[in-house]
């Protein structure tokens, strides 16, 4: 199948591109390179430099017998989304509407959407399943939920079959080092720890150690980006074979705390990685862990590389290139 991967030069997007090519698909990457990197572009994929907010560039990309779209292009900083909602509304929601309209004009009806655990908000029970109440705590999560609701209408009215994949915490790098781009000025835990380990950041600030968790620090469901990427291939197969849409969690089901990741990183990198506990970060829940039983049942998906050592080892293999 010819798949257009929008955001395919990004950290997760480029891993999805490699997985789609490995599964025998033809891939064209569409990216504005606002955060995606040219170094992440995969040799087997064509590249269109375009922006989802400009419909003409989208129509041109879709005209080349595209049969499915994977959309991962979004701004994702939860904190920034609360200060600049207009930026997130315009790009995340407005941009996706442009994509959907360009797709229906071109007769493309398979859509894989990068959604997020952020649609759930504060957990009311754990592990989180797909029936958990959806009350996003930040505008970023709101944009993801709004897009999922739009997709329901485009399925009913325009026959767009979609898979909304609710990622928990993506981490790690492909073991074959097919992707080697580093996120600039990361806010997520593992890239921050890697930046401290390679000496470009002085210390890790631990956002609170007084949570009701086994060691007081925040627990999250980290899922290896290669596991996530495989989930996209399986989701495309699913909607193609079943002519049906679904929303599904992609999580490893095992929670890791900040301190557990930090100690694994110190051991694997052999670096001190200085850390200091500071106040809690606004909006952080104590624990967020998924059940991916539904993903297993529908997509046949399960996390295979999401143990703490694989997450840290595969990250360090890439980061230590940039010492």
Residues making contact with ligand WQD (CB under 6 A): 76, 78, 116, 118, 167, 169, 187-189, 192, 204-207, 218, 220, 258, 281, 284
Q: Which is nearer to ligand WQD, 237 or 284 (CB)?
A: 284
Longest alpha-carbon distance in the chain? 56
The Cα 135–Cα 119 span in angstroms is 6
Q: Please, which residues bridge with residue 115 across strands? A: 166
Q: Which is nearer to ligand WQD, 239 or 258 (CB)?
A: 258
The Cα 296–Cα 222 span in angstroms is 17
Least distance from C-beta 60 to ligand WQD, angstroms? 29
What's phi and psi for 6, nearest 5 deg? Answer: -85, 120
Least distance from C-beta 206 to ligand WQD, angstroms? 5
Which residues are known catalytic residues?
140
Q: Which is nearer to ligand WQD, 78 or 312 (CB)?
A: 78
Least distance from C-beta 142 to ligand WQD, angstroms? 11
Q: Which is nearer to ligand WQD, 210 or 297 (CB)?
A: 210
Least distance from C-beta 212 to ligand WQD, angstroms? 13
Q: Output the DSSP codes for 50-95.
A: --TT-HHHHHHHHHTT--EEEE------HHHHHH-HHHHIIIIIIH
Alpha helices, DSSP H, located in the chain: 11-22, 55-63, 78-83, 85-88, 95-106, 139-158, 189-197, 225-242, 258-269, 293-299, 308-319
């Amino acid at each position: 199948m010819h798949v257009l991967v929008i955001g395919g030069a990004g950290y997760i997007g480029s891993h999805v591109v490699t997985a789609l090519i490995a599964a025998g698909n033809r891939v064209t990457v569409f990216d504005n390179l606002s955060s995606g990197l040219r170094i992440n572009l995969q040799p087997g994929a064509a590249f269109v430099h375009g922006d989802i907010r400009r419909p003409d560039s989208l129509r041109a990309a879709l005209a080349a017998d595209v049969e499915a779209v994977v959309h991962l292009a979004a701004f994702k900083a939860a904190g920034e989304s609360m200060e600049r909602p207009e930026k997130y509304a315009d790009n995340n929601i407005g941009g996706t509407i442009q994509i959907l309209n360009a797709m229906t004009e071109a007769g493309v009806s398979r859509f894989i959407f990068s959604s997020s655990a952020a649609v759930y908000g504060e957990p009311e029970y754990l592990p989180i399943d797909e029936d958990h109440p959806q009350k996003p705590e930040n505008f970023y999560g709101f944009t993801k939920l709004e897009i999922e609701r739009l997709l329901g209408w485009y399925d009913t009215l325009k026959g767009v079959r979609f898979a909304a994949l609710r990622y928990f915490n993506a981490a790690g790098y492909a073991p074959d080092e097919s992707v080697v781009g580093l996120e600039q000025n990361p806010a997520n835990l593992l890239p921050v720890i890697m930046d401290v380990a390679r000496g470009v950041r002085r210390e890790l600030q631990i956002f609170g150690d007084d949570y009701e968790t086994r060691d007081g620090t925040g627990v999250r469901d980290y899922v290896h980006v290669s596991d996530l990427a495989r989930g996209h291939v399986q989701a495309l197969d699913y909607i193609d074979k079943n002519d049906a849409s679904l929303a599904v969690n992609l999580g490893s089901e095992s929670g890791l705390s900040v301190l557990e990741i930090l100690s694994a990183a110190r051991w694997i990198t052999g670096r001190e990685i200085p850390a200091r506990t500071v106040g809690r970060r606004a909006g952080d829940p104590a624990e967020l862990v998924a059940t991916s039983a539904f993903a297993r049942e529908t997509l046949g998906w399960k996390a295979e590389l999401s143990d703490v050592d694989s997450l840290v080892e595969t990250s360090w293999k890439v980061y230590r290139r940039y010492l």
